[in-house]
Amino acid sequence: MIPITTYRDKTVAVFGLGRTGLSVIRALVAGGARVLVWDDDPDRRLDAVSLGAEAAAPSAETWKGIAALVLSPGVPLTHPRPHMVVGLADRLGAEILGDVELFARTRPAAAMAAVTGTNGKSTTTSLLGHILSSAGRAVEVGANLGRPVLDFDVLAAAGAYVLELSSYQIDLTKGLRPQVVALLNISPDHLDRHGGMDGYIAAKHRLLEMAGPDATLVIGSDDEWSARICHAMQAAGCKVMEISIHHEVAAGVFARDGRLYRTGSGRPAELVADLNGIETLHGAHNWQNAAVAFAVAEALGLTTGQIVPALADYPGLPHRLEVVARQGDIVFVNDSKATNAEATAHALAAYKRIYWIAGGIAKQGGIATLAPYFPNIVRAFLIGEAASDFARGLGTDLAHEISGDLATAVRAAHKAAHEGAGGVVLLSPACASFDQFASFEDRGDQFRALARDIAGQSNGNGNGGNGVNGDFPRRAVGGVR
């Protein structure tokens, strides 16, 4: 844990008592602050009180004198409208911040890399942590992925923090000074929370702007928004490592046919890594993830000889193209982390003969952009709130049925695959999970359990490796998080 001592003998309010909120309470209490808390869930309030906080419903009277409000990233700060506690804190003259800002103020000189982007940031973050750890560096990995930042250990100067940051977390942060910042890509997402595309892009851009003048900026340039930011930062004289999986870059890392090349200083492109045969880094989207991780690791002082072996034994992430069960010629793949169409596109491009399970709470734009991948799909099985809209959108373009819930969909997809020529039962929802599940992890865990039950593989620890392109994935090389 990283104690927060800047509010010793002061009163701080914490609103939203999920995993991050409880982490903040522990750190503030350890640092000597008086902590007032609230959440609509009474059980969460009890958890917070057990940590030394005081439950106090937000009001001008109960929160009088607070020095700060630490807000959960899930609570609206500005759009679609500020939550009432935001206005209350403003009226009380209290600053509003998040746990990442508390971390930044407490560990200002720590070596750190921050990773953001619409898609791929979790894989890139975990891969980077794996590379650093494999090279013998002490490392803490988390924030939006895994552990909250204030649950990290205090690292010595040789250690490094790797933070995955969402746009929500960036909105609550202003003083982070990472040595390396990575922006993978930008596509429409969370537009309601940022007032539209311009607000979403601005949030991602702000993370780059927060970095100091000596920071290395690792920026993908394969979408129009990221490319615009990349080229603007280059023109401003920033230290930019450009990343592409579509074209050669002048200074950075690019991928071609599964191989990574480094460029810069007018030298010819140098082959630095071959990703072919690494099952957990298969597919063009993972070439980008690996290229970014390679560039960030180099910027943090690692050599090619330290990075490449770690790429080869990366175990992969649960819920991201995770092969969870097999039954004859049927493979079950858990891609629950694909909560928008862009992420699902990577999965649909990676397999053939797909029995696709999709649906939940749809993001803006729906699944119209996935039409080029429909030839890879035998049949779709639609669940959740978006099922009817998706069915209308698919029309006659793709055979489909409304299954409603996940268990029905998995059984129906398995039956169809069994009666056909085998194939991939793929959960890649292109939707958020909160209509039927606690989280995308919960959704993926339930899919894994259903698949293993059907396939007769209910034993195991629940975390598998990732598959590869082609008709059926080969057996994975590992995969425990």
> In the CATH scheme, what is the homologous superfamily, with its name and number, of domain 11-97?
NAD(P)-binding Rossmann-like Domain (3.40.50.720)
Nearest Cα to Cα of residue 367 among 336, 397, 322: 397
Cα(392)–Cα(294) distance, integer angstroms: 43
For the chain, 481 residues long, the average pLDDT of each consecutive 10-residue run is 96 96 98 97 97 97 98 91 95 97 95 94 95 97 93 95 96 96 89 84 93 94 96 95 96 96 91 91 90 98 97 91 92 93 90 96 89 97 97 95 98 97 96 95 97 77 40 30 21
Same topology between domain 101-312 and domain 322-455: no
Beta strand pairing call for 180-183 and 112-116: parallel
Residue 196's pLDDT is 86
Cα(359)–Cα(218) distance, integer angstroms: 33
Cα(26)–Cα(28) distance, integer angstroms: 6
Cα(438)–Cα(275) distance, integer angstroms: 35
101-312 under CATH 3.40.50.300, yes or no: no
Could you list the beta-strand ranges (E) of 9-134. Answer: 11-15, 34-38, 54-55, 68-71, 95-97, 112-116
Residue 169's pLDDT is 96
Cα(48)–Cα(26) distance, integer angstroms: 9
CATH architecture type of domain 322-455: Alpha-Beta Complex (3.90)
pTM summary value: 0.81
Contact call for residues 42 and 76 (beta carbons, < 8 A): no
User: In degrees, to the nearest 5, what angle opens at C-alpha 435 toward C-alphas 80 and 99?
Assistant: 55
To which residue do tokens 């506690």 refer? 85
Domain ranges of the chain: 11-97, 101-312, 322-455
Residue 365's pLDDT is 79
Half-sphere exposure of 361 (CA within 13 A, CB side): 12
Beta strand pairing call for 259-264 and 330-334: unpaired
Residue 342's pLDDT is 86
